[in-house]
Amino acid sequence: MRARDHGFVVGQLPPGAANSITDVAGVRVGHANALPDHTGVTAVWPHAGDPFSQPYFCGTAALNGAGELTGAWEIEEWGARTTPVFLTGTSYVGAVYNGATHVLTARQPTMARDEVMIPVVGECDPSSWCDLRDGPEPGDEMVARALDDARGGATTEGQVGAGVGMETFGYAAGIGTSSRVVGEHVVGVLVLSNFGLTERFVLCGRPVGQSLANETASSGEGSCICLVATDAPLLPHQLKRLARRPFIGLARTGSYGSHGSGEIAFAWTTANLLQREAPAETALRMLDDELLSALFAACAEAAEEAVLNALCAGRDLRGYSGQVLPRFPAERFALPTGA
């Protein structure tokens, strides 16, 4: 069950068919885990083609940059990327970065010869629940598996892939996604949700966290990586702007960007794809800035709902030390659904 199944309806704009980042045509999400209760890898293909042959425009932003999203220098400098996007646990950034290097190099004959590559790897810290010292480390095989597992349509959420061990407002969360349709365009958000002080949790405007703080405990630290995809023809500087809007959704759930919370966003468009062997000039389209406002509202709504979806998809997680991170008891707050 997802947030809407409990009557948790966020905002005013309609979601796409799958209510997922995959509603942006070509975007695909895959997961891989070594063990069900241990952090793994989530991989996102940014468009229908090969991002090495067809670099895509993108931009980043941080509400609180207390985390890692590799490739940030080139994203800022070039406004474009050439790899899929990877998510994992903090201590595995190097392993997944290296796995991505191995797998993508093997699949691309000119890589590390005429070209090098800097992948995008984001992280949250599941170390309260997963044993990052002694647990199984993701390697090439898991990176490849997540890439090959990737698909459109409905996205598996919660404690899966990079989402395992992730906690939000004191409950098991992890991967969540949602989308909004704005005219002929779609905005989709996928979060790796691992943040929030229980007493600050706001559910669709209701400050439910204060009562829940007696039932569960959260450190209040943690992070939330936000991936934002759209098919609107944006330029890199417009994507940087879009990348700031998931934080509006996070704020509405109760985030205040705590000191240790890496609330970092990466936004891209599937339109305006570039070519590796580019001509002297490439023809592009730019969405009128006035039309961005609706995309911004869509992004804020989708981010808020993505966090709720991550919470609603959680399951009890037995941590490596034996303690249990409980699932969010969504049914206790259920509202009448439209049906």
N- to C-terminal Cα distance for the chain?
A: 15
- Here the tokens at position 166 are 């992730």
Stretch 5-44: interaction string toward a copy of itself, x if CB under 8 A? -------x--------------------------------
3-state secondary structure of 172: strand
Q: Kindly state the DSSP code that residue 183 receives in the 8-state scheme.
A: T
Catalytic site residue 128? no
Q: In this chain, which of 48, 107, 153, 237 binds a copy of itself, going by CB under 8 A?
A: 237
From 128, 223, 255, 258, the catalytic residue: 223
Select 156 or 179, whichever has its Cβ closest to a copy of itself: 179
211 binds a copy of itself (CB under 8 A): no
User: How far apart (Å, rounded) are the C-alpha atoms in residues 23 and 102?
Assistant: 29
CA distances for 118 relative to 10, 124, 238, angstroms: 36, 19, 22
The answer to whether the beta carbons of residues 334 and 4 sit under 8 Å apart is no
Site residues for a copy of itself, 243-262, by CB under 8 A, read 244-245, 247-249, 251-252, 255-260, 262
Shortest distance, position 154 Cβ to a copy of itself, whole Å: 27
> Any contact of residue 71 with a copy of itself (CB under 8 A)?
yes
Q: Are 167 and 218 in contact (CB under 8 A)?
A: yes
Name residues contacting a copy of itself, limited to 133-172 (CB under 8 A).
133
Residue count at the site for a copy of itself (CB under 8 A)?
Answer: 90
- Is position 285 an interface residue for a copy of itself (rule: CB under 8 A)? yes
Structure tokens at 289: 């800035």
Q: Which stretch binds a copy of itself (CB under 8 A): 17-25, 75-83, 152-160, 309-317?
A: 75-83
Contact call for residue 72 and a copy of itself (CB under 8 A): yes
Active-site residue, 91 included: no
103 binds a copy of itself (CB under 8 A): no
The answer to whether the CB of 253 falls within 8 A of the CB of 207 is no
216 binds a copy of itself (CB under 8 A): no
Encode 114-151: b = buried (16+ Cβ within 10 Å), e = exposed.
eeebbbbbbbbbbbbbbbbeebebbbbebbbbbbebbe
Any idea which residues carry the catalytic annotation? 223, 261, 263
